[in-house]
Amino acid sequence: MTTIASQYPIPQKVLAIFAHPDDAEFFSGGTLARWASEGAQITLFLLTSGDKGTGDRQMPPSQLVATREAETRAAAAQLGFQNVIFQRMPDGELEPTLSMRRAIVRMIRMKQPDTVLSSDPMTRWRGNRRLNHPDHWIVATEVMNAVYPAARDHLNFPELLYDEGLEPHIARYLYLALPTEPNLRIETTHFQGQKLNALREHRSQIKDFEGLRARLEKQLDLSLSNPQMPRYAEYFRLMLLD
C-alpha cells in the first residue's frame, strides 16, 4: 500500500548515494528538488565519476571524468544541492567490498544525515527489456550495509572514530528509489521542470534531450492525474530506522 508523503517529516539533512553521475536525477530528481525547496540540506555522494560512459573512442578517460563531474555539479545546482562528492572508484568495476562500505560509512558519519537516499538493491531488471546496471544494485547493497549496522557501531571501522573523530551515526530514514515493493509516493508535479533541467546538463550522456523530455512527460502518475491536470510522482521503499 502506498503511503502519502505528508505523513512523514520533511528531511533536514539528506545524503543521496548513487553509483554514477545522472543516477540521482533519473531515479529521484523530482523528490530531491522538492526536498531542497522545503529547506533540506542535500549532499550527493557518487561512488564513480562515470568514466566508462561514452561511445566516443577518441575521448580519454580523464577528459570524460572531468566532463561528467562538471555536468553533475551543474545538475546539482539546478536541483538545489549544497554539495557533490566523488569517490572516483572505477565505473563498471564496482564490487561489494569492505573498502566501499567504509567509504559510505565515513560519509554518513561525516555528514550526519537524518535521511539517506539510494536505490533498491533488489531491482535487477525492469520489465522484459531493461537490465539494471550492476553498479546500481551493488552500491545500494553497500548503502544498506553501511546504514545498518556499520555506521551505528563504533567498533565497525574504529579508525574512523579514533583517527578521524567521526562519531557513529544512525540515520532515521532510508529511502530506496526504483523499488520492487514501494510503500511511499511523493508527488513531484511542481518539480518536473527542475528534474528535466538537471537532466539537460548531462549532455555527454543524453544526445536527444527532446526525445527524453517527451518520454518522461508521458510517464504520468495515473493515480493522481486527470484530463485537466497531468501530475507526476516518484515512488520509494521507505525504511524507518530509529
**Count of CB atoms situated within 10 Å of the CB of 68:** 25
If 0-12 CB within 10 Å is exposed, 13-18 middle and 19+ buried, where does residue 137 land?
A: buried
In a domain, 209, yes or no: yes
In a domain, 40, yes or no: yes
In a domain, 2, yes or no: no
| Lowest mean pLDDT, pick from 3-7, 12-16, 108-112, 202-206 | 3-7
Question: In Å, how far are 65, 136, 149 from 94, measured between CA atoms?
Answer: 16, 9, 21
In a domain, 166, yes or no: yes
What are 25's three cell numbers? 536525477
Total number of domains in the chain: 1
Q: What are 69-126's pLDDT values in tens digits?
A: 999 999 999 999 999 999 999 999 999 999 999 999 999 999 999 999 999 999 999 8
Print the domain residue range for 63.
8-240
Average pLDDT over residues 209-222: 92
Instruction: Kindly tell me if the per-residue pLDDT of 166 is higher than 70.
Output: yes
In a domain, 1, yes or no: no
DSSP letter at 156? Answer: S
DSSP letter at 149? Answer: I
Between 81 and 242, the more confident residue is: 81
Instruction: Kindly tell me if the per-residue pLDDT of 51 is higher than 80.
Output: yes
Residues 6+ apart with CB under 8 A from 105: 146, 150, 151, 156, 157, 160
In a domain, 59, yes or no: yes
Q: What are 53-71's pLDDT values in tens digits?
A: 998 898 999 999 999 999 9
In a domain, 57, yes or no: yes
* Closest listed residue to residue 95, CA positions, set 141, 33, 34, 30: 141
Instruction: Kindly tell me if the per-residue pLDDT of 1 is higher than 70.
Output: no
In a domain, 95, yes or no: yes
Q: What is the CATH number of the domain that holds 70?
A: 3.40.50.10320
